[in-house]
A and B are shown apart, each in its own frame.
Chain A
Amino acid sequence: MRNLPIHLAAMVLGIAIFALPAAADDCLSCHRLKTPAAVRLWEKSAHAGAGVGCAACHGADHALIDKGAARVDMKVCGRCHSKALLEHKASRHGMGLHSGWGCTRGLSNRNPNECSFCHEEGSRAPQSQVECARFLKQSSEMGEAGCNRCHEVESSCASCHTSHGTDLKIVRDPNVCAKCHMGPDHPQWEMWQTSQHGTLYVSAGSSAGPVCQSCHMVNGSHNVSSGISVSSGGEPLPAELGASRREEMVQVCENCHAQAFARKELSRDDAIREQSRALVKEAEKIIGDLADHSLLDPMPDQRPPHPLRGPKLVLDSQMLYEDTSHIERLLFKMKKYDYARTIKGAYHQNPAYTHWYGNAELKMDLIDIRSEASRLRERKAVAGKAAGGLQESAEEKLRALKNKAERGALSPAEYEREKARLLEDPAGAGKP
């Protein structure tokens, strides 16, 4: 006990010695030359003002940093910004958008470094189980530059805040959202920019015109899903959740508008959504019927298997735009581009997107799909005539019956009856 002060002094000295290399000054001497922009941003940041140095986020193990294994992800930021982290994780931004795309190690010519996008060093378990068929079709390079740069928002605060700077001007500017929320599939930024909201913001400032953050990050909340009552694919959320989200959005609108006006606007937009969804469902039914009768060209079992479902027709959110038939590609455009533009255009108060870029395209897509379906049916009939009046084979008929039964287009009793008729038909319907 007599030596306790000496021991304590030695410990303090030891900690100081080991901590010194991690101090910001030590990093800055080199990094002013090697990464000057990072240093400049950090020096102006709130972090620098609060004494949060390089090692606080990056750690002090330079070898690990060089290896790329000391990423500053949301867990590092969350150590201090826990409220923002919790809000973020509860939102669509934080719900497994990027990780667990589906393991790519079985695909050919992969970059081994891409494993670190889903797996922490030394861990076999992916960070979430969400899988994306479209990602699995990409090369390593495209997956990284074309998918992950947006979807890294799940675990990377820097995706919006940028690295090293903390200026809130960056994340309060709608341009920060435009990096991902633009383009053919969900052009929210363009919709907002050319809507009256966007025009007012540009001409009269944020007090007159709301920006993305005004409605989707109310009071600085990181829960960007607040107030959104449809899924990312445009399907209505379960009733109770949808209703509570609607109330959240009405409250947002009430910051500027009368409640009755807001409700009326949103109800009208819901109606547009349902009318447009019916067009998509009709197109899906046409394609389902074609697949029942093996009329798609190529059929799912004649093309590379779907990365998640194998040789099956996939028309849901895991639908592909490549290695598919022409008519499915038309549906992809209809659903992922035109339906999305219609409903997002309506909810973002942009008439041109709601009508011309959205709904009009949807209707024209349906004409194309009906026409392509007719062509496929006629082609089959012509091929049948050329082959001496060959009728649909028993296997094709059985498959069509099974597909119909699975889609609910035939009752179990009808299905049994039709099959029995086929198998017992002495005229040859049951023959291969």
Chain B
Amino acid sequence: MLHRPRVAVRLMFPLFFAWITGCAHLPMTGALPDGARITEVARVDAAAPFALDPQGELIAYGSAGLTLKELGSGHDRPVAAPAPTALAWSPDGKQLAASFLLGEESVLKLCDRQGGVLKETRLAGRVKSLVWRSSTEILAFAVQQRNFSFGSRLTELLYRWDGTGKPAETILHETTLMPATLRRWGDMLLRPLTFSLSPLGDEILYPRLHAPPLFTPYLQLVLRNLDGGAELEVAEVSLHSAGGAFSGDGEWLLYGDGEGESRLFDPWGKQLLAAFPTPGRSVALSPSGRYLLLDGRLYRDGKEIASFPAASAGAFSATGGRLLIRYGERLYLVNGLPDEPPVPIGPAERDRLRQLRKWREEGLITDTEYRASRKRMSK
């Protein structure tokens, strides 16, 4: 009993220190690999999107608007207001896609590296995430909510835009939200609706929102082939799940159930590669698949090496080696992670692989036949 005040003081000290220094340092336990270090790079809006360009020179982020930060000079360049809803750099790093909410619609802008607007278009609904499929095609995932007397109709939309003409729209999923569901869950229903793209650019993993009467709403994670439209249901997860991410070869998925466990999972063989005791309310996977960031926990080769606050969210750079972490209203850069992206495959091999994956998704061949064909390719 006599020791309690002393323990309390010891616990309070770091909190007090963090408070007076304005939380300038990202709280961390464990150790980063040798040579890796963390620096604070920007003040951001809480929950705002952020994106690191492939060259690792520019960060785009939301802070009372869209801002570009040059990492070399530390110079901030405010580009546009209001705050973006999603951001993504093209694979060649020449263009930044940014979406902004405009009433019930979104505006999608393609900007150059200085923030100048090159092209823009309107999309129905609220854009939740953006991913470049190639240096000339951007994918946008949007949700549209229409209100009726019986509740709301929520439509999940996929847009494909090459910067010319009208973006192609695909309805991915529709569901009815009853008034009681909307009252009970509110923005929680829309928060997790984001998607990810496979490294081969042929498949997306997206969540379908289901809100059956009298039951708790949940998400169904669905793999969809972009060429044929065939789909595979991967898992059912809670609304707290951040969805999933593809492994470097596109064969495995990392997702959290939103409640207590995250899984590295083969959706075709239904095989569990690894499970992590964390709900996966934020999920990131490095291009090589060597590093995972799950709810602030940094794993290397399946082992936890460092831990940041659970409320932090991160994204690895496309070329590996860098990790951006947003915690509270600050953005941090972890530099120098020893990681290499997978060796790129040639165009012919890539096309053949995409074709085989499409056939598998459409049920034209089985997973076993796919694996046998893939094995023959590598010989």
Give A contacts to B, CB under 8 Å: 105-106, 124, 301, 311, 395, 398-399, 402, 419-420, 423-424, 430-432
Contacts and interface: CB of A to CB of B under 8 A. Distances in A.
A232 B361 CA distance: 37
Contact of A399 (B148, B364, B373): B364
Contacts of B372: 423
B367 interface: no
Given A432-B352, A432-B355, A398 B365 contact: yes
A124 B355 contact: no
Nearest to B151: A124
Contact of B359 (A105, A106, A311, A395): A395
Contact of A423 (B153, B213, B229, B365): B365
Interface of B: 148, 150, 153, 174, 178, 213, 229, 351-352, 355, 359, 362-365, 369, 372-373, 376
B364 A423 contact: no
B364 A105 contact: no
A398 B359 contact: yes
B153 A398 contact: no
Q: Tell me the dominant secondary structure on chain B's binding face.
A: mixed
Contacts of B363: 402
Nearest to B358: A395
Contacts of B365: 398, 419, 423
Contact of A124 (B178, B352, B369): B178
A399 B148 CA distance: 42
A41 to B, nearest CB: 35
A106 B174 contact: yes
A402 B153 contact: no
A395 B360 CA distance: 11
A113 B238 CA distance: 36
B153 A105 contact: yes
A119 to B, nearest CB: 8
A430 B364 CA distance: 12
A399 B355 CA distance: 13
A203 to B, nearest CB: 57
A151 B52 CA distance: 60
Contacts of B150: 124
Contact of B373 (A106, A311, A395, A430): A430
B153 A106 contact: yes
A395 B364 contact: yes
A431 B352 contact: yes
Contacts of A105: 148, 153
7 contacts: A106-B153, A301-B229, A395-B364, A419-B369, A423-B373, A424-B376, A432-B351
Contacts of B369: 419-420, 423
A401 to B, nearest CB: 8
A219 B362 CA distance: 56
Nearest to A420: B369
Contacts of A402: 363-364
Contacts of B362: 399
Contacts of A124: 150, 178, 213
Given A423-B373, A432-B352, 5 more contacts: A106-B174, A124-B178, A402-B363, A402-B364, A423-B372
Contacts of A424: 376
A296 B75 CA distance: 60
Contacts of A430: 373
Contacts of B376: 424
| Shortest beta-carbon contacts, A-B, top 10 | A432-B355, A398-B364, A124-B150, A423-B373, A402-B364, A423-B369, A399-B364, A398-B359, A106-B174, A419-B365
B176 to A, nearest CB: 8
A301 B362 CA distance: 13
Nearest to A310: B229
Nearest to B364: A398
Contacts of A423: 365, 369, 372-373
A311 B231 CA distance: 13
A274 B150 CA distance: 48
B145 to A, nearest CB: 14
Nearest to A430: B373
A431 B356 CA distance: 9
A42 B365 CA distance: 68
Nearest to B354: A432
A366 B194 CA distance: 51
Contacts of A311: 229
B209 to A, nearest CB: 15
A430 B362 CA distance: 16
A19 B176 CA distance: 41
A37 B276 CA distance: 76
A334 to B, nearest CB: 31
Given A105-B153, A124-B178, A423-B372, A395 B355 contact: yes
A424 B365 CA distance: 12
A76 to B, nearest CB: 24
Contacts of B359: 395, 398
Nearest to A103: B176
Contacts of B213: 124
Nearest to B352: A432
A339 B353 CA distance: 48
A430 B369 CA distance: 12
B253 to A, nearest CB: 25
B182 to A, nearest CB: 14
A424 B377 CA distance: 11
Contacts of A419: 365, 369
A395 B361 CA distance: 13
Contacts of B355: 395, 432
A106 B150 CA distance: 14
A431 B352 CA distance: 7
A419 B178 CA distance: 47
Contacts of B153: 105-106
Nearest to A401: B364
Contacts of A395: 355, 359, 364
A130 to B, nearest CB: 20
A104 to B, nearest CB: 12
A304 to B, nearest CB: 13
A106 B174 CA distance: 9
A399 B174 CA distance: 29
A431 B372 CA distance: 14
A385 B372 CA distance: 33
A399 B228 CA distance: 13
A124 B148 CA distance: 12
Contacts of A432: 351-352, 355
A424 B373 CA distance: 8
A431 B351 CA distance: 10
